[in-house]
A and B are shown apart, each in its own frame.
Chain A
C-alpha cells in the first residue's frame, strides 16, 4: 500500500536545521528575469506571520501571508493561526514585513475546510495583490509558470519558480498541484502568475515525493475575503465554536456527497462488500502470497481511503474515512487455529488524537440480517468523542464473518470527525453490504 504523506507547511521550532553547503565555484546563472520582476512587485505585499507565546513574547510557529486590500486585509492558512484561534489567551499574532515593519494581526475569518484565514494588519494604505481572474474561473493552463513566495524555515523571504499542474486528480478537496519546492514557513504565502496576480495559496507538500506541493485555489481565498468583509468579524473568544460549526458543516457535506456518488459491490474471495463509487475514494490492494515462509492463511487486503484530512490543531487531524476489507482463507490451519489467526488481525488502529478525544467505548455482538440470506457476523462498534467539539466522533466499525470455519472476511470502517447520524447511516450500509459472493 502506498501511504500519502502530506505535511503542512507551518514551521514550528525549527532548530539547528541541517544545511547542505553549496559546492564552491558552482556557476551561478542569472535569475529568471520574470521571477525577479514578480518578487520586486510582491515584496511590499508579502508578510511573515508569527504566533507568539504571550508570556514569553517569542515566536512558537511561523508562516506567511499576503495583503489583498489597501485597508490591510491579508490571507494566510488557518493552520498558521490555529494556535491563536483556539487559545487566544496563550498566544498572539504578529506580522513581519520584508521592510522590517512589525505589528499586531487581528483574526477576522477562518475557513477550516480549505485551511484559510483572513487577518487584518494594524496599518492601511498598503500596496496589495489582485486575484487572477483566470485562476478564479479555474482556467489556468497546465504547465504555466507560477511563483510561490514566503519565508521558508525563517531563512528570509523567498520566491520559488514552479509549474501549475492543475487540480489534483482523485481528491475530494480541490487542491492545485504545484511542481516546485515549497517548505515549512511558506504556509499561507501567495502563489502568483508572472503578472504577480494571485492563483493560489501555499498549503502543503508531499513528504514521499520530490517537489510535489499543494496550493489552495485562489477562488476560496477570494470568497473568504468577501465573507470577512460582509459578515461580522470573528469574535476571537468564539473561534473554537466557529471551528466546531465548520467541522459539522464539512462532515454533513462530505457524507452527503459520499451518498450521492453511490456504492458498488466488490467481491473479496467468497464474500462481497460495499465500496464507494466516489473517484476520490482510492483503493490499494495487498497480499501475503509472497511471504516467506509460506503463509498458512492467505490474506488479500483492500484498503480504501478518502484521502481527506482537515487540520484542526497540532493534535487533531480529522475528516478521513477508511474502509479495509481483508479476505482470509486457511491454507493448512484447522478451524480453531484459523479463528485465532483471524482474531489477531481483528484490531483496528490508526485513529489517534490522544486526550483531545475521550477514551474509546465499544459494544459487541453477533449480527445477522434476517431479511436476506446473509452471513452471520461478529461486530464491534467503537466511538470516541471530540472533547472540544460537540456532536463529533471518531467511529470504528469492525466486522468479521462467522459462517465458515476456514474462511472469513474481515471488514473495517473508520470515520473521523463524523456526526452520530452520518456514522450510523454509513455503518448500517456497510454492515448490510457484507454478503456471500454470487
Chain B
C-alpha cells in the first residue's frame, strides 16, 4: 500500500515528543482539532499546513496561507512549498516536525558494542599507565626505596584521572543522556599514556642528542596532546556543537601555552640558560657522535657572541619575574 506516512513532532531539545501514523494520502497540520496532527503552539495557524504526495508519490508540505509561514528545519527563508524527500523536517511557528514515508527503508541496524568493551579497554590502559609510571619512577628513585614514596603520586594521579573522567561522564549524561564513564576513562587513560610517552621521548632525545632546548620546549607538545584529549571526550559526548566546544577548548589551551611560553621566555631573558647538564641517562643511550675538545670549545664562540650581543641591550627590568639576586 505505500500510502502510510509518519509525522513526528519534536520537543525543544530535538527529541521526538509525539509520533502519529497517517494512513491517508494527505494530512493536515494545525492548532485546530479537525487536523490530523494537532500542534499546541500559539504561533501555528489553526490550519497551517497540508502534506500531500506529488505526481511521483514524493511527500510535499504546502503552506495553507498562515501568518508565520513554513520553513525547512534549519532554513531561514520562508517557503510556500517544501519537498520532504531529502530532509524530512520542517518548521512552523516554533515547532519542528518530521514526516517519514513508510515506504522508505529504515537505517541498517547498528551492531551492539560488546558489553563492557570500554571497561576492558580502560582496565588494560590503566595497567599500562600505572606500569609505565612505576617504571619511570623506579628508574629515577635515588633516595630510600619505599613503596609509599612510589605509590603516593600514583594514587594522587589515579584520583585525578577518575575525577577528570567523571566530569566528562557528567557532561555526557547531561547532553547525551548516558554517562558512559568507562568510555571517558578509556579516553583519559589513552591521553595519559600519550603524555607519558611524549615526556619520556623528550627527555631521552634531549640526552641522546645533547640538545637542551628539546627538554625545555617539549612541554609545549603537552598542550596539543591535551587539545586532542578534549576532542576525544567531546566526540564521545556527541557531534552536536562540536566546532564551538572545540573552539573554546583550543582557545583556552592556546592561551595556557602562550602564558607558559611567555614566562619561559621571560625567565630566559632575565637569567638566561642554566649551567646544568640537563637530565642524564646511561651513556649507552647517546645518539650523536662526540665532538673533539677543539670543536666543543670553538662552539663557545657562539656563546661569546650571544653574551656580547646581550651586553649591548639594556638590562631587563620589570615584569612579574623581576628579581636581581644581588639586590
A395 to nearest B CB, angstroms?
A: 8
Contacts of A432 in B (CB 8 A): 293
Chain B CB count within 10 A is highest, among A333, A387, A400, for A387
Nearest CB of B to A99, in Å:
39
Do residues B303 and A343 form an inter-chain contact, with CB atoms below 8 A? no
Q: Which of A338-353 contact B (CB under 8 A)?
A: 338-344, 346-348, 351-353
Contact status B292-A403, CB under 8 Å: no
Digitize A295-310: 1 where CB-to-B-CB distance is under 8 Å, 0 elsewhere.
Answer: 0110000000000000
Q: How far is the CA of A70 from the CA of B310 in the complex (A)?
A: 48
- A361, closest chain B residue (CB): B306
Which of the residues B277, B286, B327 comes within 8 Å of A380, measured between beta carbons?
Answer: B277
A-B contact count (CB 8 A): 186
A187 at the interface (CB under 8 A from B): no
Chain B interface residue bracket vs A: 35 or more
Let me know if A378 and B307 touch, CB within 8 A. no
Q: Are the C-beta atoms of A367 and B296 separated by less than 8 Å?
A: yes
With A347-B274, A362-B273, A366-B288 already in contact, the answer to whether A337 and B307 are too (CB < 8 A) is no
Chain B neighbourhood of A379, CB < 8 A:
296
Q: How far is the CB of B278 from chain A (nearest CB, A)?
A: 7
Q: Which residues of B contact A353 (CB under 8 A)?
A: 326
- Give the distance in Å from the alpha carbon of A424 to the alpha carbon of B295 in the complex: 12
Known: A346-B280, A367-B292. A337 touches B139 (CB 8 A): yes
Question: B274 to chain A: which residues have CB within 8 Å?
Answer: 347, 360, 362
List, in ascending order, chain B residues with CB within 8 A of A348's CB. Answer: 275-276
Enumerate chain A residues within 8 angstroms of B54, measured Cβ to Cβ: none
Enumerate chain A residues within 8 angstroms of B283, measured Cβ to Cβ: 376, 402-405
In the complex, which residue of chain A has the Cβ closest to the Cβ of B327? A354
Cα of A354 to Cα of B272 in the assembled complex, Å: 11
Q: Closest residue to A376 on the B side, CB-wise?
A: B290
Provide the bound-state CA to CA distance between A136 and B294, in Å.
47
**Distance to closest chain B CB from A177 (angstroms):** 29
Q: Is the CB of A336 within 8 A of B282?
A: yes
Q: How far is the CB of B312 from chain A (nearest CB, A)?
A: 9
Q: Tell me how far the C-beta of A330 lies from the nearest C-beta in chain B, rounded to whole angstroms.
A: 10
A355–B321 Cα gap in the complex (Å)? 13
Question: Within 8 Å of chain B (Cβ to Cβ): is A33?
Answer: no
B94 within 8 A of A: no
For residue A369, CB closer than 8 A to chain B, the reply is: yes
Q: Is the CB of B275 within 8 A of A347?
A: yes
Contact residues of A between 274 and 333, Cβ < 8 Å to B: 293, 296-297, 315, 333
Q: What's the least CB distance linking A328 to chain B, in Å?
A: 11
Instruction: Let me know if A339 and B310 touch, CB within 8 A.
Output: no
Give the Cβ gap from B263 to chain A, nearest Cβ, in Å. 15
List the B side residues contacting A370 at CB < 8 Å: 292
Is there contact, CB below 8 Å, between B324 and A337?
Answer: no
CB of A354 within 8 A of CB of B307, answer no
The A-contacting residues of B in range 127-157, CB under 8 angstroms, are 139-144
Please, which residues of chain B bring their CB within 8 A of the CB of A427?
297, 300
Interface pair A362/B303, CB less than 8 Å apart: yes
Residues of the A chain whose Cβ atoms lie less than 8 Å from the Cβ of B272: 358-362, 384
Q: Are A340 and B140 in contact (CB under 8 A)?
A: yes
Render A383-409 as a binary contact track against B, CB cut-off 8 A, 1 for contact. 111110010010010101011110000
Residue contact B292 to A368, C-beta cutoff 8 Å: yes
CA distance A343 to B279 in the complex (A): 6
> For residue A335, which residues in chain B have a CB less than 8 angstroms away from its CB?
282
Contacts of B140 in A (CB 8 A): 336-337, 340
16 residue pairs bridging A and B, Cβ less than 8 Å apart: A337-B139, A340-B140, A342-B280, A351-B275, A356-B326, A358-B310, A360-B275, A362-B212, A364-B212, A365-B210, A367-B296, A378-B277, A383-B304, A385-B310, A404-B283, A428-B293
Additional A-B contact list (5), CB under 8 Å, known A296-B142, A359-B269, A387-B311: A360-B272, A366-B210, A381-B296, A402-B283, A403-B283
